[in-house]
Amino acid sequence: MGIVKKQGIPTAIFTYVGVVIAFVNGAILFPKTVGASIFGFTQWVMAVLAISTLFGDFSTSKLIVKYLPYFRESKKRHNGFVIMLLVLTTLGVIVTLLLGYFFKANVITWFSNDESVEVVRSNYRLVFIGIVFFVYNTFLTAYCKALFRTRVPTFFNELFGKLFNTILLISFFFGLIGINQFLWAYVLKFGLQLISLLFYIKWLEGPFPSLTFEIPKLGKRLKKEMAQFGGTVFLSGSSSVLTNKIDILMISSFIGFEQTGVYAILLYMTITMTIPYKSLISIMAPLVSDAWKFRDMSTLKNLYVKSSLNASAISFLIFLLLAINSTFILNFLGPAYVGYDWVLYYLCAGTMVYCLCGSNGLILNYSPYFKYDIIIKLSLVALTIGTNYLLIPKYGIKGAAMATALSVSLNNLLISVLIYFKSGIQPLTYRTLGLFALFGLGFLVNYFIPNMSNAWVNAIVRSAVVSVVFIGILYKANLSSDINEMIEKGLIRMRLKK
């Protein structure tokens, strides 16, 4: 457990601080410096890089984590296993780059907005550079994970990259760099991350990845197992990435980068609703795995219910605060964002359903029915593409938000229904109804708060009053024992309770 604690605690800290910095960058600095259009282009680039990495690494980043223990031997450079995967990765990068080169004209014709076409045409080479850095960076990060060294890669990927973006935005704001320098530096930072990881691995294991071209001995059974595992994680990973990125790609194509930027910034806000949920899931994984191992359905149901209640309570409060302050927030961001309240509402609603369903995905993945996960994810990709294709041309980014909310909700409800019929457990209780009642009460309280002339004072007072009422009743009604325990510990530390 020593290495888990030593690596896990800094990893968690870097991740959470990185989330905060990313939120500040996306929700405040980008709109106030480079604007929605450039932010939209950077999000399109990130979506393209994420999808390209799926094809570029041939699942090697997953294979190295799962199968390096079979070959791990530092003195023998892991018996050539790492270099074999690195060669496969290089082949994947070459294939991806060639596809990007030959289909450049097709990619550009996807865009209906003339301004977007010009931005892509003049900066297309950045995508090629980004793919190389991004794919190898993903591979090296996975290599470090396989060596039980997650702290440093997480620092560079989650913290360094976000801080670098902050420095770039501030530099642009003060006129130290222009827009071209900003975009180049934005992509080249992945190169800095890659070089840093290379030096770190060299420090860990000597020259990387070891210049031995020994072909690892793979038995027929192991080859088949690795091929099946690689294919499975490719399908699963492709489904997840496409589901998460297709809205960005399709908004960029149908409407343009400015609207992509507006949508992405509102999406950043709703991500704050899922931070507690993701923290819970990372902690619950081994508990869920053990519960399935011993078929302990009582423990599994308890984990399922608690994950739903805890995640929902916090997400409901954040949704409430975003909703009652939406006009203020959008006015603060600037004229380009005004009038998109319902985009925020739809995205929040989809996220709320996601949190209500608790650890359903985790329970399914560790269950004997895990194969259904791929079928559901592939269906979700088709649904996401179809709804975005139908709704974006008609309703713009509001249509994209509607499509996202619908896809996320149906996906999670389908998983929950499957778990219920297969295992007889579901996450909702009478306390869930209490959360909905509390959610509605929050809007009622907000309605009776008089408007104040100063927008900042108005937002602060409303947020404070609604938060106190929500948290106070949540605590008194004991809707979540875990949250009550956290509140009581806080009160004791502040010496407000013995």
Query: What is the pLDDT at residue 342?
Result: 94
411 versus 15: the higher-pLDDT residue is: 411
Query: What is the pLDDT at residue 10?
Result: 66
Average pLDDT in the chain: 84
Query: What is the pLDDT at residue 219?
Result: 62
Residue 64: how many other CB atoms lie within 10 Å: 26
pLDDT above 70: percentage of residues in the chain: 89
Question: Average pLDDT of 25-50?
Answer: 88
Task: Give how far the C-alpha of residue 75 lies from the chain's centroid of Cα atoms, to the nearest Å.
Answer: 37
Query: What is the pLDDT at residue 403?
Result: 94
84 versus 337: the higher-pLDDT residue is: 337
Q: Are 395 and 336 in contact (CB under 8 A)?
A: no
C-alpha R_g of the chain = 24
Q: Is the pLDDT of residue 440 over 70?
A: yes
Q: Is the pLDDT of residue 224 over 60?
A: yes
Exposed e or buried b per residue across 290-313, where buried means at least 16 C-beta atoms within 10 angstroms of its C-beta: ebbeeeeeeebbebbbbbbbbbbb
Residue 35: how many other CB atoms lie within 10 Å: 16
Confidence bin at 463 (pLDDT 50/70/90)? very high
Query: 170-181 pLDDT, tens per residue?
Result: 999 999 999 999
Question: Average pLDDT of 360-372?
Answer: 81
Q: Is the pLDDT of residue 208 over 90?
A: no
Question: Average pLDDT of 321-334?
Answer: 91
Whole-structure pTM over 0.95, yes or no? no
Query: 387-414 pLDDT, tens per residue?
Result: 999 999 999 999 999 999 999 899 899 9
Q: Are 401 and 346 in contact (CB under 8 A)?
A: yes
